[in-house]
């Protein structure tokens, strides 16, 4: 395998922390065996790539192939990283035979295998404290984009370490969502991206496909079944992500908001006749609900608007609607809360400030953003309103415009491509922006639930409207990267066991160069062996080219410590750039312009010779990944002008 322009090695993580500018000039190209079908990043900085023949794990910093699982023609639905761990789930299907394997993301070695689970990997939830993994699958989830595919999702709860099944349940029939909408009549994969992912909370597992259903997390015994219609017919994510508090679950459905007791499972109160409710934010004892918005239509991927548009405030003690604001005209963005007394939204024409106590409009100023889709707060506390082509910042007190940036898409004959690129570009920000990007610090909107959820929505961005990304995608990243929660089962487990302090946080990583390569250091074989499972016994002939096997122990430590550094870095990272696909003046072609949301400056430009709308960035590494034919390429985003 020939590789062009690789970064052959990196020094220890201290190199990144002290000299980040050195990385800026580096790019790489890696040639694979066949055309790239999909790719996605992971918490560890490893890029998982699927070709027409194999699954690869590629070191995002260098382009080195960590391992390859050959003769594995998998769809993107068949691959899913397990949050807060070093596990990657792979679903293999040959005729009537299906198996799921959990492999070490560093080596490709199998940690466990199950022959009882069948279907594409749609969503999952992880409960680190009780070592539980819930996965939701769907069989034969393929068809034409406008077919209206429906399936019965399969829910399995497993032991995270061994893969042993605790219990399973076949859920009711629900409508699935295409991963993409091709111009032709080709077959595509379908997903559950139009529903919110499961959640572990208080010893129970909650799922949201047919309303709200909860199961005892250990036994699978069902207690709560609140059946109600989820999502407006033919649209995605028209209901809000449920909010968990110590005593209640707040859920929305078709114009109603319910408070459900976590102790009894009974509905305590219900607020009716609100309209479509795609967003809820809890501040103290007041629940703010956005009604109306922009939604993805399942049959063709187009973004449609549905009203009535407005904001309501509900007293959570009794369910009383305190006030309703109905002054938004022909559209609405997600809610932005610059402080506890103020709510800001944008409609088709204006930026509107609402008193959070009374619901009265304080101010209205014209924003001039074509089809305003999302709002957020930058580091200065200013309100940033954006759309597909333009973004502008406003002072939340006076409404005064502070700056504006516009980047027009190239050409008019590629509207669907431009929309897909805009959604992908925005998702790069929201992936790292987190919930804090839309509300002041300290706001109570994070779940009490201790689990972590995964949905392919974040990786695929199949929801093509920017508003859904602003209100949904970021929330899966809100509390993900706590160092104490991370579970390692493969090569990283052995390293952490031998150096529990030296490899856990970036603050102590500079001590690593002083560690000598002596007989007391774990051997190369030890470093790629799980603490409890002999990985040599589980290796299969389908996995080869394990890079760690070729490295001496000291260089293994260097490499593995950098992966841990990458994950720790994510905990403190916040997105700063919103990307737009445009004609890069003076850069000989089209590409992505990165606008800094804090000052409006376009200080990143990445020219893409061959547009790949699946592009992804890794902000800790400062790289953007794209594919071209059978190659993966990395472009620097920190030194691109």
Q: How many CB atoms lie within 10 A of CB 412?
A: 7
Pull the structure tokens for residue 521. Answer: 């250091």
pLDDT for 500: 52
Pull the structure tokens for residue 594. Answer: 């990165």
> What φ, ψ does residue 307 adopt, rounded to 5°?
-105, -165
Q: Where are the alpha helices (DSSP H) in 347-506?
A: 415-433, 456-460, 466-471, 491-498
Q: What is the pTM of this model?
A: 0.83
- Over the chain (641 residues), the average pLDDT of each successive run of 10 is 38 32 57 92 92 93 93 84 89 76 93 86 87 90 86 93 93 87 81 87 87 89 73 83 87 86 86 88 90 86 86 94 91 90 93 96 94 88 90 95 91 64 74 64 52 57 65 51 70 68 38 30 38 39 74 81 83 78 75 90 81 81 89 81 46
pLDDT for 290: 93
22-79 per-position pLDDT tens digit:
323 348 999 999 999 999 888 889 999 999 899 999 999 999 999 999 888 888 888 8
Q: Which of 553, 471, 64 is nearest to 239 (CA)?
A: 471
pLDDT for 22: 30
The answer to whether 51 and 76 have CB atoms below 8 angstroms apart is no
Gap between the Cα atoms of 473 and 561, Å rounded: 29
pLDDT for 164: 93
The answer to whether 3 and 29 have CB atoms below 8 angstroms apart is yes
Instruction: Give the chain's radius of gyration (CA, Å).
Output: 24
Q: How many CB atoms lie within 10 A of CB 106?
A: 28
> What φ, ψ does residue 494 adopt, rounded to 5°?
-70, -40
pLDDT for 166: 94
Gap between the Cα atoms of 612 and 39, Å rounded: 11
Q: Which of 444, 105, 122, 97 is nearest to 287 (CA)?
A: 444
pLDDT for 524: 37
What is the percent of the chain where pLDDT is above 90?
29
pLDDT for 264: 81
Q: Which of 300, 36, 329 is nearest to 177 (CA)?
A: 300
């Amino acid at each position: 395998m020939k590789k062009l322009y690789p970064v052959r090695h990196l020094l220890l993580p201290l190199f990144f922390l002290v000299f980040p500018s050195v990385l800026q000039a580096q790019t790489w190209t890696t040639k694979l065996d066949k055309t790239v079908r999909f790719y996605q990043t992971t918490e560890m900085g490893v890029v998982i790539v699927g070709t027409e023949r194999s699954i690869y794990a590629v070191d995002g910093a260098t382009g080195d192939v960590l391992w390859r699982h050959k003769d594995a023609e998998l769809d993107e639905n068949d691959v899913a990283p397990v949050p807060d761990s070093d596990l990657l789930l792979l679903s293999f299907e040959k005729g009537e035979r299906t198996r799921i394997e959990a492999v070490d993301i560093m080596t490709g070695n199998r940690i466990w295998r199950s022959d009882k689970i069948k279907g594409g990997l749609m969503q999952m939830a992880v409960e680190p404290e009780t070592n539980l993994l819930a996965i939701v699958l769907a069989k034969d989830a393929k068809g034409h984009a406008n077919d209206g595919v429906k399936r019965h999702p399969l829910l399995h709860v497993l032991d995270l370490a061994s893969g042993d099944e605790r219990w399973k349940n076949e859920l009711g029939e629900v409508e699935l969502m295409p991963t993409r909408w091709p111009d032709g009549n080709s077959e595509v994969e379908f997903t559950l991206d139009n529903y919110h992912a499961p959640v572990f909370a208080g010893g129970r597992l909650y799922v949201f496909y047919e309303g709200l259903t909860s199961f005892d997390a250990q036994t699978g015994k069902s207690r709560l079944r609140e059946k109600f219609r989820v999502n407006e017919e033919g649209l995605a994510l028209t209901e809000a992500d449920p909010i968990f508090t110590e005593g209640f679950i707040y859920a929305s459905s078709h114009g109603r908001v319910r408070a459900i007791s976590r102790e009894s499972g009974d509905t305590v109160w219900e607020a009716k006749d609100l309209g479509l409710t795609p967003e809820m934010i809890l501040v103290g004892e007041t629940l703010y609900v956005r009604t109306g918005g922009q939604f993805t239509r399942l049959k063709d991927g187009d973004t449609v608007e549905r009203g009535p548009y407005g904001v309501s405030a509900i007293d959570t003690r009794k369910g009383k609607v305190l006030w309703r604001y109905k002054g938004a005209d022909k559209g609405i963005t997600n809610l932005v809360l610059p402080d506890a007394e103020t709510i800001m939204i944008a409609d088709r024409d204006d930026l509107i400030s609402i008193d959070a106590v009374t619901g009265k409009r304080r101010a209205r100023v014209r924003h001039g953003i074509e089809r305003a889709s999302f709002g957020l707060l930058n580091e200065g506390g200013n309100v940033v309103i954006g759309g597909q082509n333009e973004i502008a910042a406003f002072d939340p007190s006076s409404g005064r415009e502070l700056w504006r940036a516009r980047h027009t898409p190239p050409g008019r004959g590629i509207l669907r491509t431009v929309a897909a690129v805009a959604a992908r570009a925005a998702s790069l920000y929201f992936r790292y922006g987190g919930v804090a990007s839309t509300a002041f610090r300290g706001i109570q909107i994070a779940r009490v639930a201790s689990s972590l959820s995964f949905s392919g929505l974040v990786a695929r961005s199949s929801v093509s409207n920017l508003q859904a990304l602003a209100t949904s995608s970021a929330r899966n990243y809100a509390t993900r990267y706590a160092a104490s929660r991370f579970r390692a089962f493969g090569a990283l487990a052995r390293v952490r066991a031998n150096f529990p302090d030296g490899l856990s946080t970036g603050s102590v990583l500079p001590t690593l160069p002083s560690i000598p390569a002596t007989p007391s250091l774990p051997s190369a074989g030890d470093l790629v062996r799980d603490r409890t499972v002999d990985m040599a016994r589980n290796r299969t002939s389908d996995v080869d080219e394990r890079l760690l096997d070729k490295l001496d122990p000291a260089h293994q430590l260097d490499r593995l410590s950098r992966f841990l550094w990458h994950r720790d870095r994510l905990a403190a990272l916040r997105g700063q750039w919103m990307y737009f696909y445009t004609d890069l003046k003076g850069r000989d072609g089209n590409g992505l312009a990165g606008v800094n949301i804090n000052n409006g400056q376009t200080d990143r430009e990445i020219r893409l010779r061959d547009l790949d709308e699946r592009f992804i960035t890794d902000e800790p590494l400062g790289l953007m990944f794209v594919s071209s034919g059978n190659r993966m390429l990395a472009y620097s985003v920190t030194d691109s002008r």
